[in-house]
C-alpha cells in the first residue's frame, strides 16, 4: 500500500494526506521497542517504506514520518553541532515533514524553505538556478534531491554559491558504496527502466562511491560521518538508523 501511494499519489497531495494520520499514529503504534530521537516517543513498531523489492521493514516512524536518514541527521545535529543553540540562517531544500515545524519553531534559527513544488516550501524554484543572493546561509540541507535533477554539478555549484564562507551543509543521496562510479543516462525516460537502473521511477542517476568526489568538485570539503560515530550499537537498533547511508557533511 505504501509503495503504491508513493508511486501514484502526487507528492504535494501525499504530504497533505499524511498529516491526517500523524496525530493518531503514536496512539496506534505506541510502545517501547523503538524510539524516534526526533520526538523522543516510544513505538512498538515502525512502518515499512520503499519501492517494490526495496521495501524496508521498520523504516518509517508513524508519529513523525521520519526515515532512517532523518533520525541519523537529527542525532548528528544534536550531538555534534550547535544547531539547536546558535543563531544560524538555514536554507532547507525539499523540507521534510519531520523537521519542518520543529525547525521553524526554533527562535534562534532564520529558516527559509525552498522546493520546486512542495506545499511546505516558502518559495518555489528550480535548484539549477537558486534565486537568492551569494553567501547568504550558514547551514543548508538538501537531502534526497540531487538524484532527481538534470545537472547535479550545476545544483551543487548553486548550493556552494549561496552558502556563507565557513558555512556547512548536508546533502544526502541514495547511493551504493559497492558501486565504484555513479551511473546516469539522460536518454532513459521510461519510469520502469529508471526504476531498474537507478532504483526509483523518478531518479535520473544512481550514486556510487565517487559521490564525495562530486561534492569536492563543487568546492566543498567533505566529512563522512557513520552512524557508529554518533551512537552505540544498541541505540542504532532502537532508533532504526541506516547501515548503508552515512552523512556527507559539506563545508565551505
- pLDDT tens, residue by residue, 56-79: 889 999 889 999 999 999 999 999
Domain match, 131 and 92 both:
yes
Domain match, 156 and 88 both:
yes
Domain match, 208 and 245 both:
yes
Selected residue with higher pLDDT from 14 and 32: 32
Structural domains of the chain, count = 2
Q: How confident is the model at residue 21 (pLDDT cuts 50, 70, 90)?
A: low
Domain match, 164 and 231 both:
yes
Domain match, 99 and 186 both:
yes
Domain of 234, in residue numbers: 68-251
Q: Which of 21, 43, 60 is the last residue of a domain?
A: 60
C-beta of residue 136 within 8 angstroms of C-beta of residue 162: yes
Domain match, 45 and 98 both:
no
Q: What is the pLDDT of residues 92-140, one digit of tens each?
A: 999 999 999 999 999 999 999 999 999 899 999 999 999 999 999 999 9
Question: Please, what is the Cα angle at 138 between 155 and 205, to 5 degrees?
Answer: 25
Checking 113-122 for CB contacts under 8 A at 24+ apart, the result is 117/11, 117/12, 118/11, 118/12, 118/15, 118/94, 119/12, 119/15, 119/16, 120/15, 120/95, 121/94, 121/95
Domain match, 140 and 210 both:
yes
Q: How confident is the model at residue 48 (pLDDT cuts 50, 70, 90)?
A: confident
3-state helix, strand, coil in the chain (%, to 5): 35, 25, 40
Question: Please, what is the Cα angle at 66 between 62 and 67, to 5 degrees?
Answer: 110
Q: How high does pLDDT run on average in the chain?
A: 90
Instruction: Name the residue with cell 557533511.
Output: 249
Amino acid at each position: 500500500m505504501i509503495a503504491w501511494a508513493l508511486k501514484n499519489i502526487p507528492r504535494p497531495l501525499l504530504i497533505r494526506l499524511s498529516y491526517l494520520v500523524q496525530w493518531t499514529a503514536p496512539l496506534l503504534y505506541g510502545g517501547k521497542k523503538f524510539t524516534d530521537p526526533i520526538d523522543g516517543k516510544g513505538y512498538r513498531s515502525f512502518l515499512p517504506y520503499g519501492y517494490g523489492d526495496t521495501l524496508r521493514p521498520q523504516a518509517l516512524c508513524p508519529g513523525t514520518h521520519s526515515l532512517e536518514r532523518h533520525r541519523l541527521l537529527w542525532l548528528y545535529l544534536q550531538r555534534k553541532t550547535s544547531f539547536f543553540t546558535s543563531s544560524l540562517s538555514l536554507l532547507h531544500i525539499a523540507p521534510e515533514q519531520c523537521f519542518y515545524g520543529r525547525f521553524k519553531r526554533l527562535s534562534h534559527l532564520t529558516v527559509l524553505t525552498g522546493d520546486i513544488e512542495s506545499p511546505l516550501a516558502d518559495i518555489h524554484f528550480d535548484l539549477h538556478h537558486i534565486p537568492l543572493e551569494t553567501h547568504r546561509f550558514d547551514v543548508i540541507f538538501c537531502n534526497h534531491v540531487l538524484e532527481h535533477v538534470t545537472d547535479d554539478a550545476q545544483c551543487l555549484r548553486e548550493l556552494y554559491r549561496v552558502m556563507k564562507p565557513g558555512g556547512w551543509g548536508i546533502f544526502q543521496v541514495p547511493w551504493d558504496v559497492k558501486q565504484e562510479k555513479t551511473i546516469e543516462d539522460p536518454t532513459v525516460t521510461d519510469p520502469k527502466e529508471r526504476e531498474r537502473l537507478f532504483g526509483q521511477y523518478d531518479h535520473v542517476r544512481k550514486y556510487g562511491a565517487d559521490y564525495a568526489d562530486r561534492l569536492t568538485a563543487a568546492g566543498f570539503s567533505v566529512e563522512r560521518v557513520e552512524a557508529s560515530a554518533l551512537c552505540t550499537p544498541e541505540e542504532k537498533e532502537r532508533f532504526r538508523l541506516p547501515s548503508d547511508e552515512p552523512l556527507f557533511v559539506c563545508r565551505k
